[in-house]
Structure 1
Amino acid sequence: MPKVAYHATCTGAGASGQPRPRRRISEDSANRRPYDRWKRLLDLLAAILVLVLGAPLMALIALVVLVAHGRPVLFRHKRPGLHGELFEMVKFRTMRHPDPDRGLVTDAQRLTRAGRWLRASSLDELPEFWNVLRGEMSVVGPRPHLVQYLDLYSPEQARRHDVRPGITGLAQVRGRNALEWQAKFAYDVEYVDRRSFLLDLKILLATVWVVASRQGISAPGAATWHEFTGNPPQSSVSEADPANRR
């Protein structure tokens, strides 16, 4: 898969008005732990189990998507993974293709009833176990966001890429899309620092509850989520951000 030169930047300009210097994230910065090897093995076992046992369900979902949205059945999109390496994430489609002539422009207009159900149940995420099998994702880790966000992260937020992105993660069980972006990133970095088998197990169990209760499916006032446009000034960062709690 293609790679990008992954840099983390401080948003905005320095005191001199010049852009702040960029910092290369070394592959050694992940502070690898003994659990990381076991985590990869557990990911492989989980991916094989879900892809084999879940094949009939995924075939049924594919049929529903085909009827509701047409072809293609899968949504494919480039996302940054471990150390910023780009990979093609796959999900079931939940939206119709953009079509201004039919009034299908915004996410709210393109999202179908079947798509809302798939998102609410998180069944649209099932094909991502293929990404897990390929080693591009993990079952648990920070969610992979858009490539254009890379240059908007602060150096601290960029540490979320020190581990493989996940299908579910700490931010997903602490509020999901209802969280502000700064809170999401703070939980992602917290996961990087605290990752362990016990934490992964707690996140997986909490994910079942979050999905069953349909919490935080979309951001307030949005059909899906609000685009990340950069960090606010340090003084205005929300007190809800767990990084600011003492």
Structure 2
Amino acid sequence: MEVVLEGNPVYTDYVPETKKAKIMYLMTKRGMDFILALIGMVILIPFFVLIAIIIKIEDPKGSVFFYQTRIGKHERPFRMYKFRSMVSNAEELLEELLDQNEVGGAMFKMKEDPRITKVGKLIRKTSIDELPQLWNVIRGDMSLVGPRPALPREVEQYTSLDKLRLKVTPGCTGLWQVSGRNNLSFQEMLALDLEYIERRSLWLDVKLLFKTVKIIVFPNSAY
């Protein structure tokens, strides 16, 4: 089914057509998320410890982990975790930098963000800073694959079209992350999120996970 919202065609079939297929897809996706995230957390514990030590060496005063309130499925807020890649007072400094935003739409990105630490540049470039979100996946706040979880201040600016990306569980990775990331505008990111929602399947999820691993090894335009 296709509807037109604010001049744009939008697909409203967010999951496979039949009720049985929908239930099977969601149950299998959740099971895959939980198992893979749990295995990943266990395997990566030594690596997590190493990253934590490096972060503390550069900035002993700050916390190893950084958390932020994000908006999940059906606009439900949750606490999302990352390795800290910025100075400890980064949130306070954000207001001074908003006028230097380099991405259009309801999103803030700045290539030479002065708040990012030295180790932060490396872990952001390789997306290592996102690994603690495996805990969010285990909790059910996030999926391994899905739209990027939005900030509350971003959602406040959303149009009815933009809010369609909040119909599903947000993910650690997705079409946006493997398709150019920070080189894309907000509208291009939105289009990719809606494309994923329309096409999503276990096979697509697996392909995007493999592409994400490739990007961690061979970093793309993340900053």
Structure-1-length-normalised TM-score: 0.71
> What is the match of residue 77 of structure 2?
86
Secondary structure in structure 2 of the residue aligned to 1:154:
coil
**Runs of 5+ consecutive residues of structure 2 not aligned to the other structure:** 7-12, 17-21, 91-95, 98-111
- Which of structure 1's runs of 4+ aligned residues deviate more than 3 A? 29-32
Secondary structure in structure 2 of the residue aligned to 1:172:
coil
Larger Rg: 1
Q: Which structure ranks higher in relative contact order (CA pairs < 8 Å, sequence separation ≥ 6)? A: 2
Q: Could you say what the CA RMSD is over the residues aligned between the two structures, in angstroms?
A: 2.2
Deviations 1:110-140 (A, max 9, x none): 2121101111111111110000000000000
- The answer to whether the aligner puts 1:163 opposite 2:163 as a matched pair is no
**Runs of 5+ consecutive residues of structure 1 not aligned to the other structure:** 1-8, 11-28, 100-104, 219-246
Q: Distance between the aligned counterparts of 2:15 and 2:157, measured in 1?
A: 23
1:121-136 mapped onto 2 (5 Å cutoff): 121-136=126-141
> What is the match of residue 34 of structure 2?
44
Correspondent of 1:184 among 189, 196, 208: 189
- How many residues align structurally? 188
Query: Aligned AA for 1:96?
Result: V
For residue 203 of structure 1, report the CA deviation from its aligned partner. Answer: 0.8
> What is the match of residue 229 of structure 1?
none
Q: Distance between the aligned counterparts of 2:48 and 2:31, measured in 1?
A: 23
Secondary structure in structure 1 of the residue aligned to 2:67:
strand
Q: Distance between the aligned counterparts of 1:189 and 1:199, measured in 2?
A: 14
For residue 40 of structure 1, report the CA deviation from its aligned partner. Answer: 0.3
8 Å Cα contact 1:156-1:189 kept in structure 2:
no
> What is the match of residue 58 of structure 1?
48
Q: Percent identity?
A: 38
Deviations 1:219-240 (A, max 9, x none): xxxxxxxxxxxxxxxxxxxxxx
For residue 30 of structure 1, report the CA deviation from its aligned partner. Answer: 5.4
Deviations 1:50-108 (A, max 9, x none): 11111111011111111112331111100001111000001000011238xxxxx7572
Secondary structure in structure 1 of the residue aligned to 2:222:
coil
For residue 158 of structure 1, report the CA deviation from its aligned partner. Answer: 1.1
Q: Distance between the aligned counterparts of 1:39 and 1:72, measured in 2?
A: 33
For residue 202 of structure 1, report the CA deviation from its aligned partner. Answer: 1.3
8 Å Cα contact 1:94-1:119 kept in structure 2:
yes
Structure-2-length-normalised TM-score: 0.78
Secondary structure in structure 2 of the residue aligned to 1:152:
coil
- The answer to whether the aligner puts 1:77 opposite 2:68 as a matched pair is yes
Deviations 1:118-174 (A, max 9, x none): 111111111100000000000001111211111322222211111111111011111
1:1-246 mapped onto 2 (5 Å cutoff): 31=15, 33=22, 34-70=24-60, 71-98=62-89, 108-218=113-223
